[in-house]
Structure formats: C-alpha cells, structure tokens
Amino acid sequence: MAIEQSHPSPTTTLNGDASRHSSMRELFGSEVVTQAIARDVQLPYGAGTAVLITLDNGHDHTKPNTFGPGGLLSLDEAIEAARARTDIVAVAVTGKPFIFAVGADLTGVPAVQDREQAHAIGKLGHDVFRKLGELDVPTFALVNGAAMGGGVEVALHCTYRTVSSGVPAFALPEAFLGLVPGWGGTYLLPHLIGAEKALKLIVDNPLAQNKMIKGKQVFEMGIADALFEPATSSRSRCAGQQRSSRATSRSSAPRSTRARPGTTRSTWPGSPSRANCTAPPRPRPERSSWSPRPRTARVTRASPPRTTHSPT
C-alpha cells in the first residue's frame, strides 16, 4: 500500500489526460502508428500462459517501428489488458522481423510549440514504459532486431531481456543528435551494468560517429540475460542439413544403378523420397539400342612427285 501511495497508478494519469493525448495525436498527424498486437502463448513444460506483445507498424523492415503518441497508447492498452488478467504468468514484448523498435517518432517534433507539449510527450512515454516494471508478473523484452533509443529503453524497463545474435544495431544515439535519452535510459542502464559501461553506450559511442553494438556485445555487456540465434539462422541450418542428407543419399547409391536404362531417379536404391516435392518426377527417356557407327574409308591424296634441282 505504501508503494501505491508513493507511486500513483499510471492508469489514472493516462485516463485523466485524454484531451492532452488527443492534442498530441494532432501534432503527430502523419504518425505511422506502431500497433501493439497481443496474443496468448502457451509456455513449455506446463509453465502457464504468457501474453506476447508484438510491435508492428504494418510495414517491412525498411520502415522501422517507432513510438509516437498513437504507438505509446496502443502499447498502453495491451499492457493494461494483460494487467487485468489473473490467468497469465508473464508478459513479453518483441518486434516485427528484423526490427524491435528504433525510438521516438520525430516527425511531429517540428510542430511542438512550447514546453508543455514537449513535456507531455516525454511524460506519456514514462507512464507507459514504467508499467512493464510494475506488473505482478515478470516481463521479458525479446530483442529480435534493431533497437535504438526508446526501443532500448522499453527493453530496460522489463524484468528480463533476451537478445538475438543477429541484432545488427543496439544503441542510444540521442547524444549524436544533441539530445538526452528521455525515457529512462540514463537512469536504468547505469543501475543495470554500472556507470562506466553505461557511459560508453550513452555518450562515447554516439560521439564516435554514432557507433552501435551488435547482439553478442549486448549480452557480453550484461544488458541481456540470454543470447539466442536468430530464427532465420535456424531455418537456414535445417535446410542445409536436409540438402546435405540428400547429397549423402545420392552418393551412397551403387554406381551401376545410375546409368541403368529406364530407371527414374525416384526408384534408385538409396535415393531420397520425392514425396515432399511439389512437382512430379520427370520420367527418364528410354535409351535406344546402340549400334556402332560405320567407318568411312579414309581418302588419301597422292602427293606430287618430288623434284630435285641440280645446280647449274
């Protein structure tokens, strides 16, 4: 009860600011809203049900997920729906393929006219992100792709973090733009990995031509609790193993069966089954009987008689 008194519920704050949120939406009229799509996932070993929230703006990786007023309110709705449930054991946040989230939507920044408007946008991000650390169940950030700025900060607000080894960019680039990470990065990161490492990510890297780290370094620095291979890598490896298995089966077939007339590839002993192929096997044409080609008589030309010349 003491905690609730010292930290008022963000839900009350958001519900009381409906008119302010409406004005922020107008400022960011061209926002491509990143929707927070929630679905239930059954955890292995009978651990229970988790809510998986996927951040997706409806575009491919060339248009990354960002957080504007619409995106923040969508995430808030998904978190509040999970908070109201008593049948779940965890909440996880992940991104669309190749992209987790790359921070605030800056398209509406030029339209901000006064301090109150700027403060309202910053406050909305804090009010939403902090809920991930205040739920009754543990929260997980499954960083599956590029994460920058607010994308890093939403992960820092979670209880635990995992990262894909295929993540190409993880950074707090605000200092490169002359800004300060405004949704908790400057506070949460030093408390997680220590001030020295945090300064490298918050100050040193942005000022070094906006240097970014990769997924493996995120884990090595202690920001992520676990490192996993990307899903695309696992699929490629499985496909490679299948190709290798087929090649091994072909090479193990007896050589005499390879050239036997009238035998299709699918009937060779030791060959892989073609049941999974989409196209039917192409029949191999019968070899016609072989007959030796008749030799033609070789024609030789008579060479002209050789003449000798005696010296005069």
The tens digit of pLDDT for each residue in 156-178 reads 999 999 999 999 999 999 888 88
Give the span between the Cα atoms of 163 and 233, in whole angstroms: 14
Of 180, 94, 77, the closest CA to residue 140 belongs to: 94
CB 156 within 8 A of CB 185: yes
Statement: residue 71 has pLDDT above 70? yes
Residues 270-295, mean pLDDT to the nearest whole number:
48
Statement: residue 54 has pLDDT above 50? yes
3-state helix vs strand vs coil in the chain, percent to 5: 40, 15, 45
Q: Which residues contact 272 (CB under 8 A, 6 or more apart)?
A: 245, 246, 249, 250
Statement: residue 22 has pLDDT above 90? no
Quote the pLDDT of residue 109.
78
Residues 116-135, mean pLDDT to the nearest whole number:
92
C-alpha distances (whole Å) from 57 to each of 5, 68, 239 are 36, 11, 30
Q: What residues form DSSP beta bridges with 227?
A: 163
Of 168, 135, 172, 131, the closest CA to residue 153 belongs to: 172
- Per-residue pLDDT tens over the stretch 174-217: 888 888 888 999 999 999 999 999 999 999 999 999 999 999 99
Q: What is the residue extent of each domain of the chain?
A: 2-228
Give the span between the Cα atoms of 212 and 303, in whole angstroms: 84
Give the span between the Cα atoms of 227 and 144, in whole angstroms: 10
CATH of the domain spanning 2-228, picked from 3.90.226.10, 3.40.950.10, 1.10.3720.10, 2.40.50.100: 3.90.226.10
Q: Which pTM value belongs to this model?
A: 0.70
Give the span between the Cα atoms of 132 and 4, in whole angstroms: 16
Give Cα 96 to chain centroid, integer Å. 6
- Per-residue pLDDT tens over the stretch 74-85: 999 999 999 999
